[in-house]
Amino acid sequence: MPAFDTVVRNARVVTAADTFTSDIGIRDGRIVALGLTLDAGVREIDAAGRHVTPGGVDSHVHFDQPTGDGSIMADDFLSGTTSAACGGTTTVIPFACQQRGHTLREAIDDYHRRAGGKPLIDYAFHLIITDPTPQVLKEELPTLIAEGYTSFKIYMTYDALKLSDREMLDTLSVARNEGAMVMVHAENADCIAWLTERLLEAGHTAPRYHATSRPMLVEREATHRAIAFAELIDVPILIVHVSGREAVEQIRWAQSHGLKVYGETCPQYLFLTADSLGCDDSFEGAKCICSPPPRDKANQQVIWDGLENGTFEVFSSDHAPFRYDGPDGKRVHGDNVSFDKISNGIPGVETRMALLWSEGVRTGRITAQSFVALTSTNAAKLYGLYPRKGSIAIGADADLVIWNEGGEYPVENTRLHHNVDYTPYEGMRLTAWPAITLSRGDIVWDGDRPCGETGRGKFLRCIPPDPARPRRRKAILPL
């Protein structure tokens, strides 16, 4: 009887710490052996000396999330997780969003119903807290954290989502006491509203003015404020989708002062600019509306520097899939509406890994080990999934990506597997793409088509993450 269900032979294994040549023995969905000339498996896969990395952990995606404005996200848990698998991602963490006037439990139950029987790969849930009532903070949130929902997101912008400063402090205090990781969308809502009103009054309504309404200073101010709140409470936070220099400077200041402030960035800030929203008044720029918006070319280098020097722990897609054509996506409020009424977000769950490997590792901007840390290991650690996810190690889930490199892999929406009718990276010519993706030892992408049984993905309960532990410095108040 073969010793293994599957053996991946002749792999150039890359982890966040090392690169080494090894066979990988898999049994019952887990890695059970690493070594040279392992015994036979029922199935043999020859990596032929190619790089093999842990499956990606995309810790910032939006699938089938209620929006409140009539728009509908194009990807549900089937199309979204299929697209992820084809791009080398084997774990996703979307958001169960609380609706104001409703409980967190209702949001969780609704999201489990939406996911039911669909995911191709494994998944966990973040919470989004929009209505931190005393019951939510004292009863629901601590209970849900104990049940394995150990991370949540809070917003400083969007009228339907944002918390007041006082509400943020109350919520951060619960995170500190319960050991949860807090993600913060940091933009100053009042500044954005003030600028938007004046742009619209002046007749500046085209998609390109979305970037004008959200200059870097509104991200800088909110990032500074979020850091100050976290310092006051003595709680770690993660600033998500950081776009440019001014917010980066705030995060680096906090890190240099010993604060546990983590940073996340996304492909749009490496490969798009404000010009991607259009240089004229056409509606085409709506395809690249996201928040914060892409900045200028100089800021692309700032983000690359942050990936290289350790400012950022996480590289996520912030996949927010709205179709360009049709009545329920970017045009939900009509054709050629003002920029503030265009559905906010862009797709990217399938292209995230290949973009960074091709343009980061293969160009020498970052190391292969840094790639693994940024796309898999660090997210698994920050959100309580490590060591089951995020590494190639004995006992870990057999989530693996075998890479094809050196050819030409054009980014074309017709080749992608999401349910969106465009990609903002159309026409880019990459030099790497996943050849095979394995999720718990099962092939879910064979280089030509998605594989595996619909609904095979498992829901993951997260443990309290070590990075969420407070510093335990002397607090202003005895919390």
Q: What H or E segment, with its residue span, contains residue 106?
A: helix 104-115
**Which of 152, 30, 55 lies closest to 464 in space, CA to CA?**
152
Side chain identity at 306, as an amino acid letter?
G
Quickly tell me which residue has 């906090």 as its tokens. 254
Average pLDDT, the chain: 97
Average pLDDT over residues 216-244: 98
Residue 2: what pLDDT?
87
Residue 234: what pLDDT?
97
**pLDDT one-digit tens code per residue, 96-139:** 999 999 999 999 999 999 999 999 999 999 999 999 999 999 99
Q: How many CB atoms lie within 10 A of CB 205?
A: 16
Residue 475: what pLDDT?
55
Q: Residue 187 to residues 99, 181, 213: CA-CA distances in angstroms?
A: 20, 19, 11
Average pLDDT over residues 63-82: 96
Residue 280: what pLDDT?
93
Flag whether pLDDT at 94 surpasses 80: yes
Average pLDDT over residues 69-78: 96
Residue 68: what pLDDT?
86
Where are the chain's structural domains? 1-468
Quickly tell me which residue has 């005393």 as its tokens. 134
Flag whether pLDDT at 70 surpasses 80: yes
Residue 476: what pLDDT?
61
Flag whether pLDDT at 37 surpasses 90: yes
Q: What H or E segment, with its residue span, contains residue 34?
A: strand 30-35
Residue 383: what pLDDT?
98
Flag whether pLDDT at 263 surpasses 90: yes
1-468 CATH: 3.20.20.140
**pLDDT one-digit tens code per residue, 405-433:** 999 999 999 999 999 999 999 999 999 99
Residue 472: what pLDDT?
76
Q: Residue 61 to residues 83, 315, 347: CA-CA distances in angstroms?
A: 12, 12, 9
Flag whether pLDDT at 474 surpasses 70: no
With bands split at pLDDT 50, 70 and 90, how would you rate the model's confidence at 209? very high
Average pLDDT over residues 230-255: 98
Question: What is the model's pTM?
Answer: 0.97
Residue 1: what pLDDT?
73
Flag whether pLDDT at 348 surpasses 60: yes
Q: Which residues contact 366 (CB under 8 A, 6 or more apart)?
A: 307, 308, 356, 360, 374
Flag whether pLDDT at 377 surpasses 70: yes
**pLDDT one-digit tens code per residue, 135-182:** 999 999 999 999 999 999 999 999 999 999 999 999 999 999 999 999
Q: How many CB atoms lie within 10 A of CB 166?
A: 9
Average pLDDT over residues 450-458: 97
